[in-house]
Amino acid sequence: MKVTASLRVVVIDGGYDSYTTEEKILSPYGVQLEVRPCDRDPKRVLAAVKEADAVLVRESPVGADAMDRMPRCRAIVRYGIGVDNIDLEAARARRIYVANVPDYGAEEVSDHALALLLAVVRRIASRDRAVRAGAWNLSRSQKMYRVAGRTLGLVGYGRIARSFERKMRGIGTSRVLAYDPFAEPGAGVEMVALEELFREADFISVHAPLLPQNRHLISARCISLMKPTAVIVNTARGALIDEAALAAALRSERILGAGLDVYESEPPAPDNPLFGLDNVVLSDHTGWYSEESVAELQQKAAEELARVLGGLAPKNWLNRWDS
């Protein structure tokens, strides 16, 4: 393998304690790794990626204008699964590989979805606040319902959804519905239309990718079909749900509750209407995280880039073109 001196690889989002894993994997290719956190700012991205040979990215946007600043770019690799922040068509037109890491963090995200669901169903957050304020014996003041024997609905049926399904079956889910136009059903899973899922499910967990055509997939209409005792959890992408419609349903107690790790705009604004509601449990897009998942993610992202620098296509190539 011929090594080209000083290939410039730019990491445009911070958040990791060190990048020694990437440096070790990429050093045989003559890579000069630069960490230039852009904090989702498109203008900072344009400055950071200029003349880059490759980009490693988490949340910041990489559009056609950024790609025009790096005519030698070979690859854009996403630290994670969703690539809604990368213009796949623009990258395809420029023959820039786009890859992600779809096979990490399934246990962490499904654990987090389960934790959010149980926190909502068992009123953990509101009871914590009440007890700290001196309240006691609150059992009948906020109704709770048994988890076992109820129906689970999965919006999206990929790795994470299947991991979540396994855990929910372990605590007694009796029926599993799934909506996913692209997936084959698992054993004992009923593939149904989206509106049927929202009518029938007691617990709904969202695990779909965000695509241009499915923004607000979970619309006001879908939310209106939910049972009054139903709970919805989202650990995928915030824009899959009409957040205003969900907030309205929660405020009126039209549904029992929600557990959200993701939002239409991140971080959410201080005046987000969800913040004033007791029947929603919120976290900071942290479902993917564990110390083990971070190590796995950094390694696998760097390995994808190494494949490209070594003259191969990435394993998880997302914007394929005809050779």
Has 237 been annotated as catalytic? yes
The answer to whether 54 touches 7, Cβ cutoff 8 Å, is: yes
**Alpha-carbon span 36 to 44, nearest angstrom:** 9
Q: Is the peptide bond before 267 cis (omega within 30 degrees of 0)?
A: yes
The one catalytic residue among 237, 243, 303, 304: 237
What is the spatial order of strands in the sheet that 189-191 belongs to?
A: 189-191, 175-179, 151-155, 203-206, 231-234, 257-260, 280-282
Has 40 been annotated as catalytic? no
What does each C-alpha distance from 291 to 98, 164, 167 come to in angstroms?
25, 20, 21
The answer to whether 192 touches 179, Cβ cutoff 8 Å, is: yes
Q: If we measure between CA atoms, which residue out of 118, 122, 109 comes closest to residue 156?
A: 109
The one catalytic residue among 51, 253, 266, 292: 266
Has 166 been annotated as catalytic? no
**Alpha-carbon span 41 to 251, nearest angstrom:** 33
The one catalytic residue among 74, 112, 285, 307: 285
The answer to whether 247 touches 200, Cβ cutoff 8 Å, is: no
Just list the catalytic residues. 237, 266, 285
